[in-house]
Amino acid sequence: MKMFKSISVIILSLLFLSASNGFASDKLPAYYKIGVLQKSLTEAVKIVKDAVSQKGFETIGEYHPGNNKNLYVIVFSSKNLQSIVLRKKDRGLMASALKVGFYIKNNNIEISLLNPMYIFNAYLMKEIKPLESELKKIDGDIKTALKTINSNFTEFGGGVEIDDLWDYQYMFGMPYFTDEIELREFDSFQQGLKIIRANLAKKVGNTEKIYEIVSIEKEIAVFGIAMFDGETGESAYLPTIGEKHVAAMPYELVLQNNEASMLNGRYRIALHWPLLSMSTFMKIVNTPGDIEDTFEKIVE
């Protein structure tokens, strides 16, 4: 049923497709290519970790998406960033997980950054306005740190205007940030936290917890979750939509108050691959439903 619903929405959306998401001077790029290193992955990862730590960021998770030895991601955050984004009550904490990707080919390691300002604007939307100066400082710190690797960043992966990020939709008929998928309602935040942690410890659905960011006071938790199933996980769809966007991973599950939810796959995938063509999107038409099915197991 989920597959047919996805197909019908996407086919309807084709009728309203009128513009591409290429770059323009007033668009925020989704990614930056930091540079290429001819080192071992261990050395490259250490260089990045050391660089961001100098600006007060802590690595909170890392892994090979899809168990692919040629793909790697590190996730980093800071208490300061978390305190800022928590001012947005609806899932603002999601914006505190920042990511650097490593794409290996022919002994070259291409390092990329998921643009923090792109994610801040997408997840905080108009509520970014009173936080903007603080977040721009954090964005500047990250980029200054990474420019010790290479001072010339290259934009790639598409871009979206700021106003459109606040209300991002791939095309007509597709979901927004606010169209989250509700997975389960628990008796309490604490019960939800206990069940989700227990299921991730068991690696249900061939998953693995890569990071968690929790605010007990605000009753919100964000889990970054790897999906290793060969038929429905990351290895099943990343090669189709573009592995150089590896810094998009891992996918998030959110517990807010007593409700577990996730971003709709047709929103989140499109946001992180804004140049994705409709023909390519159709090739992964089952993926949003597959992710939802996997996450439902984690909250059972």
Of the candidates 108, 103, 140, 135, the one whose C-alpha atom is nearest the C-alpha of residue 119 is 135
Provide the whole-model pTM.
0.91
Distance CA 149, CA 50 (A): 11
Going from N- to C-terminal start, the domains of the chain cover: 2-298
Arithmetic mean of pLDDT, 68-73: 98
Q: Nearest 10 degrees: CA dihedral of 129, 131, 133, 135?
A: -120
Which amino acid is residue 114, in one-letter code?
Answer: L
**What pLDDT score does 146 carry?**
97
What tens digit of pLDDT does each residue of 148-180 get?
999 999 999 999 999 999 999 999 889 999 999
State which fold the 2-298 domain adopts: TATA-Binding Protein (3.30.310)
The two three-digit tokens of residue 271, written as one number: 């946001």
Residue 19: pLDDT above 70?
no
Residue 12: pLDDT above 70?
no
Arithmetic mean of pLDDT, 18-39: 76
| Element holding 209 (H helix, E strand) | strand 207-215
Residue 5: pLDDT above 50?
no
